[in-house]
Structure 1
Amino acid sequence: MIVFRWLSILGALLLAVFTGGVFYFSLRESAVWNEAAGNVDERGMPAVFDGFVERWNRSVERELRRELAAGEQQRELLTVSRGEGDGCRLAERERSVERLRRRLEEGDHIRVLPLEKMPSGLEWHTGMEEPEIGDPRAVKGGQVRLWINTPFPGTLRAFGPGSENFFNYSAIDNVWIPLVGLHPETFRPIPGLADRWAVSADGRTVFYHLDPEAAYSDGRPVRAEDFLLNICLRTSDAARDPFWTALFRSTFDRITVYGDSVIALTVPSPRPLLPYMACVDFHPAHPGFYHDFNALFLERYQWKAAPNTGGYMVVPGKIRQGERITLARVKSWWAKDRKYYRYSCNADQVEHVFVNLENKAIEMFRRGDLDMMNIRKPEIWEGKLELPEVHRGYIDKYSLEAGYACPPYGLYLNCSDGMLRNTDIRKGLAHAVNMGMVIDSLFRGNMRRLGSYMEGYGDLTLPLKAPEYSKKKAMEYFARAGFREMGEDGILKNERGERLCLELTFADSSHVMTNVCSIIRQEALKCGVDLKLDPLTYSVCSRKVFEKRYQAALWAWPLDTPFPRLYETFASELAYDGRGNSVGNTNNIFAVADAELDAALDVEREAPDYPALKEALHRAQKRIHDLCIWIPGWREPYTHIACWRWIRWPESPTRFCSPRLYNPLESHLYWVDDKMKKETQDARRRGIPFEERHEVIRLKDRDDPLRPSSGE
């Protein structure tokens, strides 16, 4: 989910130097990598990269010609048929064919050119006019121990099967520095790995100039060719991750590298916030780390962590399987003095403590073995935090109003399944799911029912109403699908005697989801449908969902900012290959392939301005609603944080994070006040209380930089 795909490059398994408990790398260790990397060429690139650009260009050309032939054939069929709605589909097909022709005429998809070939007359931007991020009072040092109640990750790989886990999302995507970032308050581009950027006159190409000091955590400089290596690795057969092949081919019309310092990304059409949006999923890969990349990649790199460009690294020696993973601040981080990063990544170490038993986590927190808890359950926030340490002011509580995009919890339906291909079955199931009872009884009314798949994006969100729980409506739809006879067990049957039975898959990491699914099953039985519960560990559940071997799944994942990218979740090409076979390990876990939805997604992907983007997203949301491939679940109106009072936050609009992000800890703007820590621990021993603190932070309405002002 940026895209939201929770994949990016995570820390490295290198020789670590510990000074005062802080993990950092030296240039000497970079040399060790180069000496060990026997399977590299004279440029220091892995052998797998040899000839990649030529192979990739030939492959892309073949695919474009195949798509063009298929598109022209479909256009001719639409021209002849002239059926209802064919005029609109014909226009969409014409645009698609024209785009494919243009791409073929432009030549190679990837070009490697000398720096002298750079176009002249470009207008460069630095983004240095935006306000400071964080707080100058922030100090470096200390340790923060965070409670993590998601399952322990099954791998530290940044791509490949199993890499879509919550830890990789929070500890990788929110640590790596992109080419161009987005200011969390103004939502305008700021420098990242690139110190400046320029947009071509036609608005389709962004030129990124790499910061000369940009480096990986081991000190090796980042080069433009490293970004091509990343494409090579992620699209390799050894990675078994077809998502990336489809993404790179469809997102960019052309990728050009000029020397070692400039990258140009060309997209099909101008887009809002193009300098940021074009590079969201475009990262470098460390050549030395991947020196022996081959067919054994998945097994060989299962618990290795690649050097990254951010302020934190995984500490290999502090990984305790099933229990904790520690990130440590990179002392020699190249961006540590940069304007937008100098007040972030303040704690020396951030220890992620995986505890599935809530009572155990609360007790650890009360004892001071955890510094911070991000709390989602109402019964914990309202009940189990009624602790003396809270009442005496040793632990602070913050409630952040969640007026921003949150993960869309709900039932995700697999349209490639024989039974769920039928829209009436899906619509009947939507009316058989009593999500209102889940919210009222299990969540004590503290959650809110979702309507649209992408709520929390202002007027980009199309207001939609979730299907009501109704036995009458559910059975009417089931009857349309042929399930009319009620069996002795209360389950509907069709004329062939087949029972209306579906498997409901979910990650059984806590009793919450088990209880949610139990309520859903009991209420669905009243409507004549039997939902067989399929509780799995998160890693197994994730693998089953992404391989599209499930029927229905209780699921959610983070959405992207500053606006969603629905194409990457609902596009047909991410569901089926050219022969109509289901494609696994892509974000289209619905396996939905719908021409009308695709048309809206194509416009969304190429929308040149805010009004066009809004119109396309509204169309897509309406179609998702009509297809009923997702049964709306719930969202949390507040995000709650409890922390010992020595955890400090900036006194600024970005004190927690961008209001468009879900987890307030993702900003890494907090710090540890050692003086306050000693004061608190001493007061606690002596029984001296402080004032109890529970701060409710209500987010003010703000203008979206993408939205035209009232005067336009």
Structure 2
Amino acid sequence: MKHRPQPAAFHLKHTLRALGVLLCAALISACSKSKTDDRFPPYDNTAEVQAYWKSKPQFFQWKTPADLPPDLKWENGANVPEFGDPRAKKGGTFHEWHPSYPPTFRKVGPDASNAFRGEHHDNVEISLVIRHPDEDEWIPGLAKEWAISTDRKTVYYRLQDNLTYSDGKPVMVEDFFMTFFVMTSPHIKDPWYNDWYTKEFAAIAKYDDKTLSITLPEPKPDPLWYADLPASPQHFFRELGPDFPARYQWRITPVTGAYVIDPALLKRGRSITLSRVKDWWARDLKNFRYINNVDFVEYKFVASQDKAFEMFRQGQFDTFLAGLPRYWYDKTEIPEIYHGYIERHKFYNEYPQVTWGIRLNESKPPLDNLDVRLGINYAMNFDKVIEVDFRGDKTRMNSTVSGFGKYTNPNLRARPFDPVKAREYFAKAGYTIPGPDGILQNAEGRRLSLTLTTFNTGTVMPIMLRLKEEAKKAGLEMNIEGLDGTQMYKKLDQKKHEMAFAGFGARPPYPRFWDDYHSSNAFKIGKDGKREIVTDTNNMTQTADPALDPLIDKHRLAQTEDEVQKLSWELAKLIEDRGSVIPAWESPFYRYLSWRWVQWPKNGNARASREPLDAHMFWIDEDIKRETKEAMKEGKDFGEVTRVFDAYQRK
């Protein structure tokens, strides 16, 4: 499924993810309800859905098996190696922490792009086909086999046998038709999905109860990536109407994946538990039988990363992401590490980097001035942050389109810290007069003072304060505004920030520019003919450049990998020239600590994973858990353990 890029919420657990807990009791009061909410009158959109399908006969098509092209070459990924580990044991509860309670359980609509969404949706849900996490190959998902038309515009799918949702209801071909009704509906209040599902597909057809096809408007370099769809259960979305965001705020969507939010184990504002679906349709299938091993995954919400570490040390959590040096080096000087009860892991992955950096809102003066933006670029001392705060463990990210292999422009370089050059650009913008505190002013007396919105955590704030002090050397004042993570991303969605430090996740194989830089995601013409800001999009810089839009449109329509590469390089350079995004840092690996009873595959994890839990390849060994706890009572020593998994290290 193509997702609107998600915020990589900061607890260094996403290379720096430490968000506050959202305690909104009034909103959470209906959290555990997955059925009809008494606050809303009955609603049934069945007639509306049928009318919608009938109104678009060229798009929604009903055919017969005789209409299938006779020359189709069906594939099923049978020759692709299986992933997961045959040693994996089923059962047990995995205990994990998360910094902020989600503002909704919806996967679309207002606030759906929250930090917790990946845990209960993106890393769980299954679409028609899956990109193998270790190989550059496709494997079965909801479809057991597929075929691509000779013109590379249509993909044909045959669904798996006994395919059901987590609530036991069968997955129907029409549920993929329903996806378009949901994603194009104005009621979901989500412009990204409205646009994607309107423009990126040309037709969907049913041939029988197990066979469908999806047609794209034009050929694509890899049609399977573009023609992939999630299923949308008709019975669940039957009440989708004008009040969708509120009606579905806390409803638990039936999933096709292995885990679903368990309403019986939900503790509002405190914890969310995912339970493994009983009699899951894929449990014995190749590529699924050795993953999704634990029975329950419990997420407790803890605002403080230091507190979470202490709870981990006490055995309340099974793993802890240790991206920050103080957790990898300093806080591991403890008996639990020395005796081998807790083990260190360093895993080299291959995945697009989280786009950590500072976004400058071009709609807010003086950030509408290119010289001011370029000056700010040279006023950010990220090299010192990397040297001091990360102790050299990370490197400077040169472009926010990083980690996409050949689609990443290798010629780009982030602007270095250079106060002299920063002042030269500020002078071009008219900021030439130093005030008594050294902050530059223009002839009208306006100070070069801006607010940087970020996370109000002990993890992030020291870094932002360091940048603030260094920026003074260039005559720039940055007022640091620390917000709870949910509040921060809400402010960014509403485009009310001046500068913002944030990170967004990306997915392979291709970079996407429309989300972040197309003018349609920045402004629209209102009823009064005036330009209005478009909210709830990922264009956090409010970039609206007539020179960029046509290239972004061409990039979306590109038909070959060579064309995608050429346009990706060109767009990345033009975006760099604008100076609206200041790249921060990146790393070719992630580090984590885990109690020795948490077991991992032979190679450590999936090559295409951003964090250790993403691919659900781990398992709990209850025998080792009992052995460890007994050893702790007796003072037995297993020896200090640090594992480095470098099978996927880039040379």
Note if 1:500 corresponds to 2:451.
no
Question: Which residue of the other structure, out of 63, 68, 73, is the alignment partner of 1:123?
Answer: 73
Partner of 2:146, secondary structure, is strand
Q: 1:487 to 1:53 in 2, by over 3 A?
A: farther
Q: Tell me which residue corresponds to 2:576.
A: 625
Structure 2: how far apart are the matches of 1:209 and 1:577?
A: 41
TM-score by length of 1: 0.81
The answer to whether 1:331 aligns with 2:281 is no
2:644 matched to which residue of 1?
A: 696
1:450 Cα deviation (Å)?
Answer: 0.7
CA distance in 2, matches of 1:217, 1:380: 38
Cα deviations by residue, 1:311-331 (Å, 9 ceiling, x for unpaired): 001111222233221111112
| Counterpart-to-counterpart distance in 2, 1:549 and 1:251 | 30
What residue number does 2:53 align with?
53
Distance 1:247 1:319 in 2: 33
State the one-letter code of the partner of 1:276: W
Change (3 A) 1:586 1:119: farther
Residue aligning to 1:74: none
Q: TM-score, normalised by structure 2?
A: 0.89
Counterparts of 1:483 and 1:166, CA distance in 2: 39
CA distance in 2, matches of 1:304, 1:248: 23
Shift of 1:588: 2.2
AA aligned to 2:535 is: G
Deviation of 1:292 after TM superposition, in Å, equals 2.5
Any idea what the Cα deviations from partners look like across 1:583-628, whole Å, max 9, x if unmatched? 2112222221224433443343333333222222111211111111
1:549 to 496, 503, 508: 496
1:263-299 per-residue CA deviation (whole Å, 9 max, x = no partner) reads 33222433233213331xx322222223323333222
C-alpha deviations, 1:377-397, integer Å up to 9, x for none?
110110112221111111111
Counterparts of 2:60 and 2:125, CA distance in 1: 24
Cα separation, partners in 2 of 1:47 and 1:588, compared to 1, 3 Å? farther
- Distance in structure 1 (CA, Å) of the matches to 2:593 and 2:649: 25
Query: Does 2:88 correspond to 1:138?
Result: yes
Question: What are the Cα deviations for residues 85-141 of structure 1, in whole angstroms up to 9, with x where unaligned?
Answer: xxxxxxxxxxxxxxxxxxxxxx84444545554444322211222111111121210
Whether the 8 Å contact between 1:188 and 1:273 is mirrored in structure 2 is: no
Equivalent-residue separation in structure 1 for 2:306 and 2:444 (angstroms): 50
Q: Which of 584, 587, 595 does residue 636 from structure 1 map onto?
A: 587
Residues 263 and 421 from structure 1, CA distance in 2 versus in 1: closer, same or farther, beyond 3 angstroms?
farther
Per the TM alignment, residue 242 of structure 1 is displaced from its structure 2 partner at its CA by: 1.2
- 1:46 deviation in Å? 4.2
- Matches of 1:374 and 1:46, distance apart in 2: 46
Counting only pairs closer than 5 Å after superposition, residues 104-123 of structure 1 correspond to structure 2 as: 108-113=58-63, 116-123=66-73
Secondary structure at the residue paired with 1:478? helix
Q: For residue 199 of structure 2, what is the aligned residue in structure 1?
A: 250
Question: 2:42 and 2:131 mapped to 1: Cα distance?
Answer: 38
Q: Name the residue aligned to 1:536.
A: 483
Aligned residue runs from structure 1 range 144-159, under 5 A: 144-148=94-98, 150-159=99-108
Match of 1:569 in 2: 516
1:161-560 pair list within 5 angstroms: 161-279=110-228, 282-463=229-410, 464-508=412-456, 510-560=457-507
CA deviations on 1:220-242 (whole Å, 9 max, x unpaired) are 11112222323323333332111
SS of residue in 1 equivalent to 2:482? strand
- 1:359 and 1:501, CA in 2 relative to 1: closer, same or farther beyond 3 A? closer
Check 1:496–1:186 CA distance in 2 against 1; reply closer, same or farther (3 A cut). Answer: same
What amino acid is aligned across from residue 121 of structure 1 in structure 2?
D
Q: Do the aligned partners of residues 696 and 354 (structure 1) sit closer, same or farther apart at CA in structure 2, a change above 3 Å counting?
A: same
Q: State the SS of the aligned residue for 1:666.
A: coil
The alignment status of 1:582 with 2:533, answered yes or no, reads: yes
Offset from partner CA, 1:436-458 (integer Å, 9 cap, x none): 22222222222211101122233
Contact 1:365–1:372 (8 Å) recurs in 2: yes
Q: Structure 1 residues 257, 702: closer, same or farther in 2, change over 3 A? A: farther
| Aligned residues of 1:406 and 1:455 also touching (Cα < 8 A) | yes
* TM-aligned CA distance change 1:273 to 1:687, over 3 Å: same
Structure 1: distance between partners of 2:340 and 2:47: 59
Deviation at 1:372?
1.3
In the alignment, the residues of structure 2 paired with residue 259 and residue 702 of structure 1 have an alpha-carbon distance, to the nearest angstrom, of 46
Is contact 1:113-1:257 (8 Å) kept?
A: yes
- Helix, strand or coil: the match of 2:533? coil
Pick from 609, 613, 631 the counterpart of residue 560 of structure 2: 609
Q: How far off its partner does 1:428 sit?
A: 1.1
Instruction: Go from structure 1 to structure 2 and tell me whether the alpha carbon gap of 1:460 and 1:699 turns closer, same or farther (over 3 Å shift).
Output: farther
Structure 2 CA distance, aligned partners of 1:702 and 1:481? 42
**Ranges in structure 2 where 5+ consecutive residues have no aligned partner:** 8-34
Structure-2 separation of matches of 1:395 and 1:684: 11
Alignment of 1:3-14 (within 5 A): 3=3, 5-6=5-6
Letter in 1 for 2:89: V
Which segment is superposed worse, 247-256 or 309-318? 247-256
Cα distance in 2, alignment partners of residues 276 and 234 from structure 1: 18
Structure-2 change in CA distance of 1:595 and 1:208 (3 Å): farther
CA, structure 1 residues 40+571, in 2 after alignment: closer, same or farther (shift >3 Å)?
Answer: same
Taking a change above 3 Å as real, the CA distance of residues 344 and 462 of structure 1, as seen in their structure-2 partners, is same
Helix, strand or coil for the counterpart of 1:506?
A: strand
1:591 to 517, 542, 547: 542
Inter-CA distance 505–147: structure 2 relative to 1 (3 Å threshold): same
Which secondary structure does the structure 2 equivalent of 1:592 belong to? coil
Say whether the 8 Å CA contact 1:271–1:608 is kept in structure 2. Answer: yes
* 1:524-579 Cα deviation digits (max 9, x unpaired): 23322222222111111111112222121101011112332233332333333366
Counterpart of 1:207 in structure 2: which amino acid? Y
486-495 or 349-358, larger mean C-alpha shift: 486-495
- How far apart are the structure 1 equivalents of 2:572 and 2:147? 33
> Is residue 2:608 matched to residue 1:660?
yes
Would the aligned equivalents of 2:452 and 2:480 in 1 still touch at CA under 8 Å?
A: yes
Q: Deviations over 1:644-696 (max 9, x none)?
A: 11111122x4x412x23311211101111111111111122111111321011
Hey, what's the Cα distance between the residues in 2 that align with 1:385 and 1:488? Answer: 45
- State whether residues 2 and 564 of structure 1, in contact with CA within 8 Å, keep that contact through their aligned partners in structure 2: no
Larger proportion of helix: 1
Partner of 2:621: 673
CA contact (8 A) 2:43 2:241 kept: no
Note closer, same or farther for the CA distance 1:113–1:545 as it changes in structure 2 (3 Å cut).
Answer: farther
Partners of 2:555 and 2:568 within 8 A in 1: yes
8 Å Cα contact 1:365-1:371 kept in structure 2: yes
Deviates more, 1:181-190 or 1:524-533: 524-533
Gaps of 5+ in 1: 8-31, 58-106, 704-712
Contact 1:326 1:350 in 2 (8 A): yes
In structure 1, C-alpha distance between the alignment counterparts of 2:303 and 2:563, rounded to whole Å: 44
Are the equivalent residues in 2 in contact too, given 1:407–1:559 (CA < 8 A)? yes
Q: What is the percent sequence identity of the aligned residues?
A: 34
- Give, as a single letter, the amino acid of the residue that structure 2 aligns with 1:241: D
